[in-house]
Structure 1
Amino acid sequence: MRRLLHVSASPRGAASFSRTVGEELAGAVAAATPGWTVTRRDLSHTPLPHPGPDFARANALAPDMRGPAERAALARSEALIAEIEAADVLVISTPMHNFTVPSALKAWIDHVVRPGRTFRSTPAGKQGLLADRPAFAIVSCGGRLGEQPVGQADFLTPYLRYVLATIGLSCLDVLCLEEMNRGPEKVAAARAAARKWQAGCIARAAAALGPGA
Structure 2
Amino acid sequence: MSAAIRVLRLISSPRGAESESLRLSHLVLDGLAGQHSLQVQDVDLNDLQHVDRDYAMALASPSDADQAEPGSALQRSAELISQLDEADVLLIATPMHNYTVPSTLKAWVDHIVRIRMTFNGTPQGKVGLLRDCPVYVALASGGLISGEQARQPDFLRPYLQAALATVGLRNMHFFCVEGTARGEQALLEARAMAQSQVAAFFSAE
Tell me if 1:186 matches 2:186: yes
* 1:103-126 deviations in Å (ceiling 9; x for gaps): 111100000001111111122211
Residue 198 of structure 1 deviates from its aligned partner by 2.0
**Would you say the 8 A contact 1:30–1:38 is kept in 2?**
no
**Compared with structure 1, are the counterparts of its residues 166 and 203 closer, same or farther at alpha carbon in structure 2 (3 Å cutoff)?**
farther
User: 1:37: which partner in 2?
Assistant: 39
Unaligned 5+ runs, structure 2: none
- 1:188 Cα deviation after fit: 1.9
In structure 1, what is the equivalent of residue 151 of structure 2? 151
Cα distance in 1 for partners of 2:197, 2:150 equals 25
Q: How many residues align?
A: 201
Say whether the 8 Å CA contact 1:18–1:95 is kept in structure 2. yes
| Range with greater deviation from structure 2 (141-150 or 170-179) | 141-150
The amino acid across from 2:197 in the alignment is W
Q: CA deviation at 1:194?
A: 2.0
8 Å contact 1:6–1:40 — kept in the other structure? yes
Q: What is residue 167 of structure 2 aligned with on the other side?
A: 167
Does 2:19 match 1:16?
Answer: yes
* Cα deviations by residue, 1:154-204 (Å, 9 ceiling, x for unpaired): 111110111011111111111222110112222222222222232355467
Q: Check 1:148–1:24 CA distance in 2 against 1; reply closer, same or farther (3 A cut).
A: closer
Aligned to 2:87: 87
CA contact (8 A) 1:9 1:105 kept: yes
Determine if contact 1:5/1:90 at 8 Å carries over to the other structure.
Answer: yes
Could you tell me whether the CA contact under 8 Å between 1:145 and 1:152 is conserved in 2? yes
Larger proportion of strand:
2
Letter in 2 for 1:83: Q
The structure with the largest helix share of the pair is 1
For structure 1, the 5+ residue unaligned runs are 208-213
Q: CA deviation at 1:145?
A: 2.1
- Counterpart of 1:68, as a letter, is Q
Higher mean displacement: 85-94 or 19-28: 19-28
Partner of 2:132, secondary structure, is coil
Instruction: With the length of structure 1 as denominator, give the TM-score of the two structures.
Output: 0.85
Output the CA distance in 2 between the equivalents of 1:26 and 1:54: 37
The whole-number CA distance in structure 1 between the counterparts of 2:149 and 2:194 is: 26
**CA deviation after TM superposition for structure 1 residue 130, in Å:** 0.7
Q: Find the aligned partners of 1:48 and 1:193 in 2 and give their Cα distance.
A: 32
Distance in 2, matches of 1:180 and 1:145, equals 11
Instruction: State which of 7, 30, 43 in structure 1 corresponds to 2:10.
Output: 7
Aligned in 2, Cα 1:75/1:203: closer, same or farther, shift over 3 Å? farther
Q: CA separation in 2, counterparts of 1:187 and 1:200?
A: 20
Q: CA RMSD in A?
A: 2.4
- The alignment's TM-score, normalised by the length of structure 2, stands at 0.88
Counterpart of 1:110 in structure 2: which amino acid? Answer: D
Equivalents in 2 of 1:177, 1:32: separation in Å? 23
